[in-house]
Amino acid sequence: MKYPSKLDSALAMVAATGIWRSSYAPPLYRLFWRVGLFLPPPHFASFGFNFIFMTAWFGVVWGAIMWFSVWSQYSGSGVVAAVVAVVAGVLFGLAMAAYYRYGARKYKLPLWSQLKAEL
């Protein structure tokens, strides 16, 4: 099955549940889909994928923002800043992966690999 039709089916399925669009198709995902990166919508991804993806982008972005806006002014250690960014990323990743897995179970949404496009 082609990715665009599978994505359309997934988005239609999750939209029918009443979940907000900003939750089932977050802006970062829409950007990736627009540039051709084939990521499953977060409710259809596994806990592990969501954990790794959310941890990685949040840790890097939040760490960079904090470094340039606060931490660098206090001449703090880069190692301490990196550890704090990693911990923040892990906590955010766990929370978001749990949120998406809970929503998928609540609405009985299949994993991406089990999804079939509607004809």
Amino acid 117: pLDDT: 55
Q: What is the mean pLDDT of residues 94-119?
A: 88
> With 50 as the cut, is the pLDDT of residue 16 above it?
yes
The average confidence (pLDDT) of the chain is 91
pLDDT tens for 27-76 read 999 999 999 999 999 999 999 999 999 999 999 999 999 999 887 787 67
Contacts 24+ apart (CB under 8 A), 87-90: 88/58, 88/59, 88/62, 88/63, 89/54, 89/55, 89/56, 89/58, 89/59, 89/60, 89/62, 89/63, 90/55, 90/59
pTM of the full structure: 0.87
Q: How far apart are CA 119 and CA 116, in angstroms?
A: 9
